Structure 1
Amino acid sequence: MKRKWNFITVILLMFVLVLTACGSNENSGGESSGSEGEDGLELTEDGKFRFVVSGEFPPFSTVDENGDLSGFDVAVGKAIAEKLGLEPEVEKFKFSGMVSAIQSGRYDAAVASHTITDERKKAVNFSEPYYYSGPVLYVQPGSDIKSIEDLSGKDVAVSKGSTYEKSAQEYTDKISNYDSDQTALRALSEGKHDAVITDDITGKQAIEEGFKIEKIEQLGTSEQAVAIKKENSKLLEAVNEAITELKEDGTLTKLSEEYIGVDITQNPDSE
């Protein structure tokens, strides 16, 4: 009986070792497929295009009555995902922390109306622009501010981490930061500040919603693009191809007219 028991024990041990080896191979294969898909794209989750928007920048991104993220940026991100053959997954994230989140590889991209700047290009790569805009100076009706030159010593509210903050710093040392452009405009409407520098479209929508503000001066033209991790060159190339296709087939123009009311996807400097 003792010899029979030893033989059975050996067989059982060999069976367990075979199962363990198979399990190890499956785990290692699963880990590698999660970081790089069949098309060679490095993704945070296999089969998905995970991107962030601010959710506080209407009409580009906002939370609708159902609690879902909506807006032009959201729609563009989903359209890019479709072109890439990936499932879109969008999350709300504070604008000021997006670049760091992309750098760390927490998300695949930010489709959040980032203006292309030399400083930001040191941290992340940018796609081709998917729309064009520019900073605008807003004040309350009846304000003594008539141009950007009148901002000296004035309190200017801006979205934290935005290019508008740097624009304001060129004219005044009194800067009030907010988590979103809309909250900055609301504070201006309530008389808490002297001016706001923000996007033209955002300001127009705020006026339509009853905010007591008015446009004073357009301060320039800027290019808005998708932010992607610097090391992820294959994803950048794929996103650029997707944006080109979306421009050529008219999708970007259609989405712009749907969410913005006008086509902002054409470069005004090339007209």
Structure 2
Amino acid sequence: MESTDFWNLAGRAGRLKREFQGNIFLIDYDKWTKKPLDGPKDSIITPAIETSLNDHHDQLMTVIAGTPSAGRSDETDLETTFVRLYTDFKAGDLSQTFERAGVAAGDAQSGLLAAALAAASEKLTLPAAVIRRTPNISAHKQQRLYDRISAKVAQGPDVAWTLIPLHPRESEAFQSYADVLELCHEIILGIDTSKNLHRFHALIARRWMLGLPLPQIIDEQISRNTSKPVRTTIRNTLDLIEGDIRFQAVRLFGCKRCPEAL
């Protein structure tokens, strides 16, 4: 753990609105590989949009064009920058955004970006206000999701109703969530849906939404994965709920809901 991460975590000690301070216990600190107490408490934070513009310009250009960047599996920051630039472009505020990010208006870099955004605008029919509501998902992916949903709606009300997630207590809720996640995994995350990861996530998501205690969910996973060490299963389940369910699945469902509302 780096010093800045440690002090950020330590600063949360205590109970909000009840205590003004808390205690930090370092267990076997002498055995720690790194010594965060010896490092600085503060660090300089560079905005993600500035990093994307200045350090990942070529990769950002491919995202704006709708092509995944080679060699980069996680493009969230780049997609967020694309959405910000695109919506500011549509609103006529692009030059101010460039200025705040340290990119000189009128230079070659800003000119290329503006041209790429104009080309993207020719492909996108979703209103910029809708795209901005899910800022960490590429506008191109949102457009493809909208096109797929529109095609399903055109098939009639019976198909259209399947796009609306059911309440977790309804008997068909699992299949409903699996269908939604399958669509999002394919279009937004680019995951091979033949591996049925969306069904597994739908299963855990429904249990979490029903309010099942975390120990119960973990016990179920231990029973399903008897060949794996218990510690590994516990760690993987916690990561799954915190990362894939509470963050990613919520993000995907939210993105699907925005174009659907049109």
How would you bin the TM-score normalised by the shorter chain? Answer: under 0.3
Q: TM-score, normalised by structure 1?
A: 0.21
Greater Rg, structure 1 or structure 2?
A: 1
More strand by share: 1
Q: TM-score, normalised by structure 2?
A: 0.21
More helix by share: 2
